[in-house]
Structures are given as C-alpha cells and as structure tokens.
Amino acid sequence: MYKKTQTAEVRATQLAKNDPENSGTSAAQHSYLRSLRSRQYRIAVIRVLIFAAFLVLWEAAVRLGWIDGFIFSSPSRVAKTFCGMWADGSIFRHIGITLVETLISFACVVLLGVGVAVLLWYNTELSEILEPYLVVLNSLPKSALAPLLIVWLGANMKSIIVAGISVAVFGSILNLYTGFREMDPDKVKLIYTLQGTRRDVLTKVILPGTVPLLISVMKVNIGLCLVGVVIGEFIGARQGLGYLIIYGSQVFKLDWVILSIVILCVIAMLLYGILNLVEQKCLRGREK
Amino acid sequence: MKPLLELKNVCYAYHSRAGETPALKDISFQVRQGEFIAVVGPSGCGKSTLLSLISGLLVPESGSVLFADGDGGGARREVAADSALREKIGYMLQKDHLFEWRTVYRNVTLGLEIQHRLNEENRAKIEKMLRDYGLERFRDARPSELSGGMRQRAALIRTLALGPELLLLDEPFSALDFQTRLAVCNDVSAILHREKKTALLVTHDLSEAVSMADRILVLTKRPAQIQNILELKFEEPGLSPLARRNTREFQEYFNLLWEEMNDHV
C-alpha cells in the first residue's frame, strides 16, 4: 500500500515537471482535469459550429433560390441593413429607446415587487384578501392589456414602460412573498428570543436570507420586461425595436424585422449575463 | 437563597381550527440563583412551550411567570409584561441558526445589534469570549467553516453577549453527534459555571440531564404537569459532566429517573 502511494507520488512529480501548470497534483487528478477541459472545449466548439452552419445554410438557401430572400432575408442582407442603419445612426436610437424602457420598467418591477411582497408579509390578512386578485392578474396574458394601456395612457413611453412592468410585476410579488413566508420559522424565533421586533425579523432574516431568491426572480423578470416593452412598442410607438418589427412587416422590409429580432436576442443575452455576474458576485461570499 | 424565577400555576393551551390542545397544566416551581435545572419528559409533552412561556415569547393563559432581576432589588415581576425583564433572559434554541450571510463575528453580535447595545464595553466582552472559547481565529469566517461544536459555542456567545441572568437551553446539543455532544456539553457547563449563570435545560437525554443538573424536573405526558422534582447530590461537588458520568451516583440517579419516567407511561 505504502509502495503504491509512493510510486503515484513519483509519477505525479514527473508529470509536474513536464507540466508546470499542474504541479502538485496526482496523475489521476491530472488526467481527470484534462478530460474535463477537453469536454468543455468540445462543447464550446460545437456550439459555434451549429451557429455557423445555420448562417451558411441560410445564406446558401437564399443564393441558390431555395427560399425567397425578399421575405426570408439572409445573413448578408441583415448585415448590410445593420451597416446602413449604423451609418445613419437610426439603429442606436431604436436600441437605446428599447433598452431604456426595459431598464426603467425592470427597476420599477424590483421596487414594486419587493415593496408589495414586504407589505403582504407584514400584513398576512391583507395578503389573504389580495391573493385571488394577484393569482388572476399573474395568469392573465398581459398582451391583452397593452391596447388598453395605449388608450388610457396615450401612445408614449409611459404606457410602454407600464406594459413592461405589467408583464413581470405580479409574478415577482408572488414569488418573493412565497419565499418570505417559507423562511425557516426557527430563524424568525431566534430574532424574537433576542428581543427583536417584527421589523428586525424583516431586516435581519427575511431580506438578507432571500437575496439568492431575489436575484433568481430578477433573472427571469428582466427578460419578461423586455417582452412587455416590445409588446407595448408593437402597438403604440414610433421608435424602438418593437416598432421596427411591426413597421418592417407592414412595409415588407423584412430585413428590418429579422435584424431587430437578432438584436433583441443579443440584448436578452446581455441583460441575463449582467444579472448572472451580479449573482456570482453577491453569492460568492455565502458559499465559501 | 431567594428564588430568581418562580412559576405559579401556569397553564397553556394551543388553539387551532381543529380544536384546543392543552400543553401545560398547573405548573409551579422555583429556580434559585445559580442553579442548573434540567427538564425532562416524554417527547411532545410541552417542554419547549415551557421555555417559551418563561422567556415571554408566549403569555400563559392563567397563572404567572415571575422573575427577579438584579436591578429590581429582588422584587419579582411578571415576565410577559416587562420587556426590560425579558432582556435578562437568554434563550438558546435547538439548532445554532447562525446566519450564513454574516461572518461569525457579526453573528455573535446579532443580539446586541438588535437591542442597540453594541458599545465599546460589550465589544470588549465579545472579544474576550471569542478568545476564551477558541473562536478568535474564525471571527471573519462564515459559519459553514466551523465544526458543529464551534458553531454551538458561537451560538452560546451570541446568547451570553446580552448578559442574561437566566439562560434557557432548548435541547441545544441534540443536533450534534454523540462525541461532539459530550465535549460541547462539558464546554458549555464549564462556561456556565465560570460565568455563574442560572440555567434551565430542556432535554430528552436522561444521561445529559443527570450529568449537568442540580435538580431535575420530570414532566408527565401532555398536558404536562410536574410529576416529580429530583434533587441531585454528588459526593464530590463541582464535577464536570464527563466526570459525573463515572460516578456511582450517576448510575443510581439515571436508574431512578428511568423508573420515574417509565412508571407513568
């Protein structure tokens, strides 16, 4: 047994000499790490290949006349449209307006979501009274509200932001409130044994204890806000990516439509990525 | 010695839609200054309810819980109606409930923070306790980095930091494995003796009760009444819980307690 360990150590030192990066690890650990790395590499390469193959196929299909480039557009047409709109600056206006609307409605959702959830937690009777209303509002397809909002609030940024809020806010309230209520009752009791008040329970246990939940709820909701904003722009906007999609489809400039969809994909990815970073930063301390 | 705590005919029942569950019936006893009392009884008999009543988290339906703190000149007052009095009673729960989002230091200062008493004097007291109980190196660590015994000691510091005159312990060792449990039990007992605290320990472990207590309160099954109060006398005073386990009296008291509990099943 002792001898075996020794040989493994010897091999490990030899390996460590060959590969300075892995000094101090055993041969088995080394090969495990290597297989792990090659697996990750493979996944990344295949991901990129799928995307590239899709672009090539799309472009080829248009050029070979399998599909009509006028209605299906093509990667090169999208790129050309993008460059054109970049040059006259109009694309920045559309992206900017959609982003600003999304971020404002997201901020409102965070504030409203946490605020109302705290209120419901403070007053359980109120939460019981409001529960059926919240459930109905949450399951209602919010796109049905958008036309109403436009009529009530006018075809302006305000109603688009409200549309964005309406899609995400009810789900956030319900999720956060459920999370608040599921907090370990003994942790709550601890605060009372230390002679704390209900306010201490909120600030020392409930809020800090549900930060991971808050972040995961927000990760879902930033995407929902974007959905709501685009729905709003469909109906009542003169700029923004949602407007570009609707207008493009009406005047048969499908390059605009496809380009807007591509940009929306990128925005959704970026926003999600940012919240992912926030999550890692916030939770790093906890899972040490 | 004057009693520090006195319960007079305390009754308590839980209410739910399904009906009323009487938990405690006519409980009366006294605790003297510096005494260590263990409370044993069948599981679910209302032992934890008793502690909640003494700490003022629950208000008795009838009867009274009276406590005399040092400031009151020995005058005993009703716990439930007096928040200043409640601050003199420390309560340690079954699990340590250290918050993972706080460092060990910020966990042990939680009680002081809540009571707005995090001043220089109390900070110094905490520093000393962290040093004495071997946690100084871990003050900036997260609770998950501590062993079970260390976590329990941190929870004890959190309770002692408030300077309680009476300590309520609700099966504080039951979440630990047996070996750690014996060690922590020894630690805590030494700490309580050193700080000259009066303590009330709820436990379902008879050997733990015999190894730590001066008197043992035996409760009946629900609704709990006092079945008997056992006074423990050891030939050699001041033995640690571990040392007590090796004495002749330990066996005798254990058997006595065992019979006491089984007679009434």
A141 shares a domain with A48: no
Pairwise CB contact (< 8 Å): A195 & B83:
yes
Closest CB to A186 among B95, B99, B145 = B95
Task: Tell me if A212 sits within 8 A of B120, measured CB to CB.
Answer: no
The pLDDT value given to residue B74: 64
Same domain, A111 and A243: yes
Domain boundary among A15, A38, A67: A67
Residues A103 and A132 in one domain: yes
Q: Which residue has the tokens 């460059």?
A: A83
Residues of B in contact with A196 (CB under 8 A): 114
User: Count of A–B CB contacts within 8 Å?
Assistant: 51
According to DSSP, the residues that pair with B20 across neighbouring strands are B15
* Angle between helix A254-284 and helix A75-88 axes, rounded to 10 deg: 80
pLDDT at B259: 87
Minimal-distance CA residue of chain A relative to B102: A286
Residues A61 and A155 in one domain: no
Q: Does A68 touch chain B (CB under 8 A)?
A: no
What pLDDT was estimated at residue A16? Answer: 46
- For B167, nearest residue in chain A (alpha carbons): A193
- What is the pLDDT, as a whole number, of residue A182? 93
> Is residue A184 within 8 angstroms of chain B, CB to CB?
yes
For position A282, what pLDDT does the model report? 81
Please indicate, yes or no, whether residues A203 and A141 belong to a single structural domain of this protein. yes
Residues A25 and A120 in one domain: no
Instruction: Say what the pLDDT of residue A263 is.
Output: 95
**B142/A285 Cβ within 8 A:** yes
**pLDDT tens, B214-263?**
999 999 888 888 888 888 888 888 888 888 888 888 888 898 888 888 87
pLDDT confidence of residue A1: 38
Among all chains, which residue has been given the structure tokens 């090539």? A56
- What's the pLDDT score for residue B175? 76
Instruction: Please state the pTM of the whole predicted model.
Output: 0.82
Contacts of B146 in chain A (CB under 8 A): none
Domain range enclosing A23: 2-67
B101 touches A at CB < 8 Å: yes
Kindly state the average pLDDT of the residues B155-184. Answer: 87
Contacts of A112 (CB under 8 A, 6+ apart): A165, A169, A172, A173
Q: Which amino acid is at A123?
A: N
Assess A186–B contact: CB distance below 8 Å, yes or no.
yes
pLDDT (tens digit per residue) in B123-164: 999 999 899 888 999 999 999 999 888 898 899 899 989 988
- How far away is chain A from the Cα of B56, in angstroms, using its nearest Cα? 9
Question: In B, residues 169-228, which contact A (CB 8 Å cutoff)?
Answer: none
pLDDT computed for residue A8 by the predictor: 45
A209 in contact with chain B, both atoms CB, cutoff 8 A = yes
Please name the residue of chain A whose CA is at the shortest distance from the CA of residue B52.
A193
| Residues A10 and A108 placed together within one structural domain of the fold | no
Q: A36 and A89: one domain?
A: no
The number of folded domains in chain A is: 2
Q: Are residues A79 and A47 in the same domain?
A: no
A244 and A115 in a common domain: yes
ipTM reported for the complex surpasses 0.95:
no
Boundary residue ending a domain (A43, A67, A91): A67
Same domain, A162 and A180: yes
B72-82 confidence digits (pLDDT tens)? 556 777 887 77
Domains detected in chain B: 3-96+165-250 (3.40.50.300)
- Interface list for A 94-133 with B (CB within 8 A): none
The whole-number pLDDT of residue B189 equals 87
Which of B47, B65, B154, B170 is closest to B107 using CA atoms? B154
* Cross-chain Cβ contact B99/A191 below 8 Å: no
pLDDT in tens, chain A (288 residues): 344 444 444 444 444 445 545 456 788 999 999 999 999 999 999 999 999 999 999 999 999 999 998 889 999 999 999 999 999 999 999 999 999 999 999 999 999 999 999 999 999 999 999 999 999 999 998 888 888 888 999 888 999 999 999 999 999 999 999 999 999 999 999 999 999 999 999 999 999 999 999 999 999 999 999 999 999 999 888 899 999 999 999 999 999 999 999 999 999 999 999 999 998 888 775 653
Cross-strand bridge partners of residue A179: none
B97, A193: Cβ pair inside 8 Å?
no
- Say what the pLDDT of residue A15 is: 47
CA distance A201 to A122: 10
Note whether A63 and A127 are same-domain residues. no
Is any Cβ of chain B less than 8 angstroms from the Cβ of A196?
Answer: yes
Which of A67, A88, A113 terminates a domain? The answer is: A67
Chain A closest-CA separation from residue B101 CA (Å):
6
Mean pLDDT of chain B: 87
CA distance B155 to B65: 26
